[in-house]
Each structure stands twice: as structure tokens, then as C-alpha cells.
Structure 1
Amino acid sequence: MTAPPSPPTHRRRPRRGSGLGLGTGGHLIGAYGLLGLTALLVLVFSLALPRTFPTLDTLDSILSAQSIPAVLALAAMVPIVTGAFDLSIGYGLGLAHVMVLYLVVEAGWPWPLACLVVIAGGLVVGVLNGVVVEFGRIDSFIATLGTGSMMFAVTGWITDGGRIVPGPQGLPPAFTDLYTSTFLGLPVPAFYVLALAVVLWLVLERLPIGRCLYVVGSNPRAADLVGIPVREYTVCAFAASGLIVGFAGVLLAAQQQIGNPSVGLDYLLPAFVGALLGSTAIKPGRPNALGTLVAVAVLAVGLTGIAQLGADFWTVPLFHGGTLLLAVGLAGYAARRRMRTGAFAARDAPAEASEPPPAPPPTAGSAP
């Protein structure tokens, strides 16, 4: 007697336009389109400004001038991973750089100790922001705007509304070398940015804590159901952001060499533009460190080219504002496309793979 034939398995072919039916071209454009735009801008400005733009001086200027905005953009990116926004980073940057100069110039502290204390203070401020947001149950926009305003008040209290100017002897050369020195012919701050981006990339993409942070940002309720402590991870994200802001404040103090209580606010908008626009590159649909670097590169090349073309001063906020709107729109589109692709993949999967697993046998005391 022959065994009855097994029932045929029907596999549906991927629909045209679904996530499985698309080639790699769309993914490559989404992931590396911003990088291609950077190369295109470099080419356009090099052709338009052949004597000034494609030079080593321009490269050094971009790497040096954009290092602090890049560090602050990475700081803004970390809370965004968890679905929160830290609007206090601009105020924190101003407070951090003023505190460094106050401790070195007014209090006479050794500059290494002053830098460490300010970076540790940034960590404490980040933790407080996270506690206010998560345990105080206050929206991150409102909470960080409130704490940022308080930090701005502390900055004004320390400086008495004026500037902190070093004496005739100036600042220690070893301290200013943190920003002004070079390595392999390139500005040292560029290597700080690269090292920080690599660390954040490894943490977010390769370590379990990074995967948990992404789960918290995509679906906090689901994260809580699978046992991920949502509050603790969100506080950790704010703490990391505050730590990076403290480091950015040290770099800003070494660059400015004068304590200006209002300078930090100028970096707030570029930081969020870089962080949000970066979520459309490399890993479209979610914030990531390398995408943030690419976004900062686009902004740096664009602003440098516009400045060399002789544009008026008002073009800078116009460029940042327009790019922010574009970044938010592209980030939302990338996130929706990512979810739609996942839905198509689940719908077009083989039928046998989508069948629910068999129910477990009833245990003692359960209803039949």
C-alpha cells in the first residue's frame, strides 16, 4: 500500500511592488542617496568655484568648523532612538563651555580637572532630564525645554550676563590644543567626531543595549511586555546625550577661548537637522550614527559652498530651516516605507511559514 500523497504547498509569488519583489536598487538609493548628494554638491561647487572650493584649506575649514555641530548632532540622535527629544542640548552646550572657562580662569583649577568635572556634570544633567521625562511623566519637548531654560539661567548667573575673558597670560596651550592641533595633517576634532560615531554605531548596532533602545523607540508597550525596562533605558539615552554635550562644551571652550553665555543656542537647530536628516541615510527609517555623519557632511558642504558664493547672512537660517522640514518629511517617509516593507514581507511569506504554531497541550486544571 502506498502512502497517500502529501498535500501540495502553495507558495505565493511576491507581488510586484512589495518588499520582496523589489531589487536592491531602491534600498541602495534610500541608504546611500544622501552620500551621493554630498558627492554631487562637492562636484557642483568645485565646478562653480574652482579656485576656492576644491582646496585643502576648504577641507580643513569644514572639518574644523563642523566638528562641534557634528558632536552635538550625535548627542541629539541618542534620545531620538528611544522616541524622545532633548531640546536642552543647546543650553547645556552653553553652560558646559562657560563652566570650563569659569573653573580654569576664575577658580584657577587645572584644565584637565575642570574638563572632567564638566563632562561628569553633563552626565548628571542628562540623568536628571531622563528622570523628569520618564518618572515625572512629562513630554520630552516640554521637560527638556524647561530644564534647558533653567540651565540658561544658571549660565547667566555664573557669567553675570557678561563674558568670561582670560587674563593676559591666556589659556593653557595644552587646553587650546584640544581643538587647534592637527593629526595626520587634519584637524584633531575631526578624529574626535569619527571616534564618537564609531562608538555609537557599535553600541547601537552590535550590542544588546542598542537593540533594546531601538525597540523602546519603535514600540514602548511591546518593549515593556517582553521585559525591557523602558524607563531605565530612556534615562540611559538621556545620560549618554548629556555626557556627549559636556564633551562638546569642552571643545567649544577650547575653540572660542571666551565664555559667551548665549553661544550654545546657535548650535541647537543644526544639531537636530543633522540627527533627523541622518535617519534617512545608511539605515533609512531609524536614527543612526553614520547616517548622522553623512547628514552633517551634506550641511557642511552646502553651507560652505553657499558662503563662498557670497550669499547673504540670512541664507544660513533659511538653509537650516528648509533642511529641517525636508529632514522631518524624509524621516517620516523612510519610517513608513520600512513598516510597509515589513508588512509586505509578512503578507507574501509562504503559507506554511505563516501558519500559527500548534497550541500547547492543556495543563492540569485548565478548561478543556
Structure 2
Amino acid sequence: MQSLKSDALEPTRADLAALSTGQRISKLLPVYGLPILAVALIALFSALFPDSFPTLMNFSVLIDNKAVIALLALAVLCPMITGKIDLTIGYAIVLWHILAISLQVRFGLPWYLSAMIVVLLGTALGLVNGLLVEIAMIDSFIATLGMGTVLYALALWHTGGRQVVGELPDAFTAIDTLSVGPIPITAFYVLGVGILQWLVFEHTPAGRAMYAIGASPRAALLNGIPVRRTVILAFVASGTLTAITGVILAAKLQIGQASVGLDYLLPALVGVFLGSTTIKPGRVNVWGTIVAVIVLAVGISGIQQFGGDFYIEPLFNGATLLVSIAIAGYSQRRRRVVRPKTASVEASTVNAVIQPN
């Protein structure tokens, strides 16, 4: 999984100090190109559709619709930082949102107890995924794809292929329907998770250790980083956040059905890969991921207002995934002029990664 390795290419202050203004702009443009694109798209579609696009209602709908994708993207970001991938997010959210509803309407459990059970099951799933990858030594792509397929089968078995419907308490649906002024509460979920992850990944030894593992597991191990334990915890975090997102999706849809969920997998992966091309190019990162989801949301919304057909969204997501992976791969090939040839050199490189700024 070479494409998942992390080593940011953003210029340092020392690099920029010796450059002219034009050269600084050319250096910073790849770093902040995606946020600039997001602003440009908003301005473009606002000018083209002044009566429908730049409205509070439209932006509220965009935020609420894409919050689940953003949260799933942040979930898959956790193991991806360590060079692993978790494909169960697209399958697990199917089962989790169904269980969050069926535990209430079929088994009569209180909504908060149902939500707690789902989150605990998500944490357990993350642990199992981590053990499969690090202890059983199964490639993360294969392990999580296989586990995800099992979860999807369980969802089909549990529902019998039918919808799970019933009366849900207002306190449960309020998880999604609440708003702060015109801003949906789901926006604050994404912002809160993003800030927490940014603090952990960028400003703690544990976060720097995760990036070091993504850069070189062998060198990280030589530097005394507990690689297996760290990767397993990354999967646990991914599983937990996916389950929380499943509860939010259940409160949003208020119906459990196995036909939803898989549509969220590709956009979440697109968000992470596309996000690795900005803010910290060549490294998957929190704010790049969130900006990428915004670009996807604005782009798809604008195209649909042009009158795009129903197949535009998957077409747009698939094409963007291919482009973003190509750009990310190019960025990573520029990581070093000469790649380290020995473990000792790799170890010194990773040691520099894990040192605080």
C-alpha cells in the first residue's frame, strides 16, 4: 500500500524566506490550491444560480447531507495515517444504523442504551480489524473488505431484506435534527472530531508515531514505537467513529435499510485521498480531508443545479478518486530526491518525524 504512506511536502518558513513573492506563491499554490478551488466553486455557482445556490437553506442541506461522509472520511483517516486502509466503514455503517433503530423498535431498548451498544460493537469491530491486520498479518485491504462483506451479510440477515421502521423518540432524532441558528448540529460534530484529531495527530507523540509508522513501519519500530499496538488502536478509533456515525445516520434517516451505506464508502475514500493533495501535500491530514469533502459537496451540488442526471454523483466521485490518487502518488514520488537505502538512515528520518516542532 505504497500510496498510503505519509510524508508532507509543504514548504517551511526557511524555504519561503529565501524566495521572491512570485516564487512563494508558486510554492504555496499546491498547498492551498484545494481551499482556493472550494472558494472559487462557491463563487462560480453563486454567480450562476444566485437564487438557489448561495442561500442558507442550500448550505444547511449540503452540510447535513455531507456530514456523514465527512465523519466517515475522518474515521478511515485514522488507520490510513499508519499506512493501512479500513474498508469496513462503508459496510459497518449499514449494520450500525440498522441496529441503532431495531434495538429500539424491535427490542424496546432506550435510545441511549441502543446507541451505546452500537458504539461498543463498533469499537469491538475495530479491535478485530486491528488484530486481523497486525496479529494475523492479513493485508488491511483484504481483511477489512472480507470483514465488511460479512457485516453486510449480517445486515441483510437481520432485516430479511426489508426496512426497519417504527416510532423513534424525539430525543433520538434530535441527534440529527437539532441546529444552532441556521447551522445543523452535524456541522459541529464534524468540526469537533476534526479539531480533536488535529490535536492528536499533529500535536501529540502518539499522532507523530502514527505518521512515522505510515512513513516506514520498520524505521518506526527501530525508534522504539510500538507499531502493532498503535495500528490496532488506529483501527479501534476508526471502528468507534464509524459506529457513532451510524447512530447519526439512523437519527437522520429514521429508517433502517441495507440498501444505504455502501454509497458512502467511495466518497469517504475520495475525501481522504483528495485531502492528501492539499494543506500537507503527500500526507493524509484532517483539514485537507474536510476541505476535500467540501469541494465534492459544492461541485456535485453545482452540477446537479445545472441539470445533471442521477449518475453524475458516482461518476464525479469515481473520477475524482482516480485523479486524487494520481496526484497523491506524484507528490509522494517527490518526497525525497534520494530515498534512504538503509534502515539506519530510515530510522533517523522517522526519528525526525516524531520529534515535536
Q: Which band: TM-score by shorter chain?
A: 0.7 to 0.9
Q: Which residue of 2 aligns with 1:10?
A: none
1:62 and 1:341 map into 2 onto residues whose CA distance is: 44
CA, structure 1 residues 341+276, in 2 after alignment: closer, same or farther (shift >3 Å)?
farther
Deviation sequence 1:326-361 (CA, Å, 0-9, x none): 110111122223334999xxxxxxxxxxxxxxxxxx
Q: Name the structure 1 match of 2:119.
A: 119
SS of the residue corresponding to residue 62 of structure 1 reads helix
1:288 aligns with 2:285: yes
Give the conservation status (yes or no) of the 8 Å contact 2:274–2:289.
yes
Identity of aligned residues (%): 47
Where 1:136 maps in the other structure, the secondary structure is: coil
Which of these residues, 261, 265, 283, is aligned with residue 264 of structure 1? 261
Q: RMSD between aligned alpha carbons?
A: 1.7
CA contact (8 A) 1:63 1:187 kept: yes
Structure 2 counterpart of 1:222: 219
Given that residues 89 and 268 in structure 1 are in contact (C-alpha distance below 8 angstroms), is that contact kept between their aligned partners in structure 2? Answer: yes
Q: Is the 8 A contact 1:179 1:251 kept in 2?
A: yes
Match of 1:178 in 2: 175
* Whole-angstrom CA distance in 1 between matches of 2:34 and 2:57: 24
C-alpha separation between the residues in 1 aligned to 2:335 and 2:29? 14
Tell me whether 53-62 or 329-338 shows the greater mean CA deviation. Answer: 329-338
TM-score by length of 1: 0.85
2:228 corresponding residue in structure 1: 231
1:128 maps to: 128
Post-superposition offset of 1:20 = 9.2
Establish whether residue 95 from structure 1 lines up as the match of residue 95 from structure 2: yes
CA distance in structure 1 between the aligned counterparts of 2:26 and 2:225, rounded to whole angstroms: 33
Tell me: CA distance 1:314–1:220, structure 2 relative to 1, closer, same or farther (3 Å): same
Give, in whole Å, the separation in 2 of the partners of 1:298 and 1:216: 29
Q: Where does residue 250 of structure 1 map in the other structure?
A: 247
CA contact (8 A) 1:19 1:341 kept: no
Shift in Å, 1:26: 3.5
Give the Å deviation of 1:248: 0.6
The CA deviation string for residues 54-73 of structure 1, in whole angstroms up to 9 with x for no partner, is 11111111111110000001
Pairwise mapping of residues 289-328 of structure 1 onto structure 2 (< 5 A)?
289-328=286-325
- Residues 16, 24 of structure 2: 8 Å contact kept: no
Q: Partners in 1 of 2:53 and 2:337 — Cα distance?
A: 41
Which structure 1 segments of 5+ residues have no match? 1-17, 344-368
The partner residue of 2:334 within 330, 333, 337 is: 337
Aligned match of 2:54: 54
- Give the structure with higher Rg (CA): 1
Bigger mean CA offset, 42-51 vs 89-98: 42-51
Structural mapping, 1:148-227, within 5 Å: 148-166=148-166, 170-227=167-224
After the TM superposition, which residues 269-280 of structure 1 pair with which residues of structure 2 at under 5 Å, given as runs? 269-280=266-277
CA contact (8 A) 2:89 2:242 kept: yes
Normalising to structure 2: TM-score of the pair? 0.87
Tell whether the 8 Å contact from 2:94 to 2:260 is kept in structure 1 after alignment. Answer: yes
**1:117 Cα deviation after fit:** 1.2
The answer to whether the Cα contact below 8 Å between 2:123 and 2:236 also exists between their aligned partners in 1 is yes
CA contact (8 A) 1:19 1:342 kept: no
Q: Deviations over 1:129-156 (max 9, x none)?
A: 0100111111111110100011111111
Query: 2:63 and 2:231 mapped to 1: Cα distance?
Result: 31
- Whole-Å separation in 2 of the counterparts to 1:160 and 1:210: 42
Gap runs ≥5 in structure 2? 1-14, 341-357
Partner letter of residue 264 of structure 2? Y
Name the CA distance, whole Å, in 2 between partners of 1:209 and 1:197. 16
2-side partners of 1:250 and 1:35: how far apart?
30
1:31 aligns with 31
AA at the equivalent of 1:139: D
What is the identity, as a one-letter code, of the residue corresponding to 1:298?
A: V
Query: Which amino acid counterpart does residue 176 of structure 2 have in structure 1?
Result: Y
In 2, the alpha carbon distance for the partners of 1:45 and 1:268 equals 26
CA distance in 2, matches of 1:150, 1:19: 51
Q: State the partner residue of 2:7.
A: none
Indicate conservation of the 8 Å contact 2:134/2:228, yes or no.
Answer: yes
Q: What is the match of residue 109 of structure 1?
A: 109
Task: Give, as a single letter, the amino acid of the residue that structure 2 aligns with 1:173.
Answer: D
Look up the equivalent residue of 2:254 and give its one-letter code: Q
Q: Distance in 2 between matches of 1:335 and 1:93?
A: 31
* Residue in 2 that maps onto 1:366: none
Seen in structure 2, the aligned counterparts of structure 1 residues 199 and 341 have a Cα distance that, compared at 3 Å, is farther
Aligned residue for 2:290, secondary structure, equals helix
Distance 1:342 1:281 in 2: 23
Report the secondary structure of 1:128's partner residue. helix
Q: Do structure 1's residue 71 and structure 2's residue 71 form an aligned pair?
A: yes
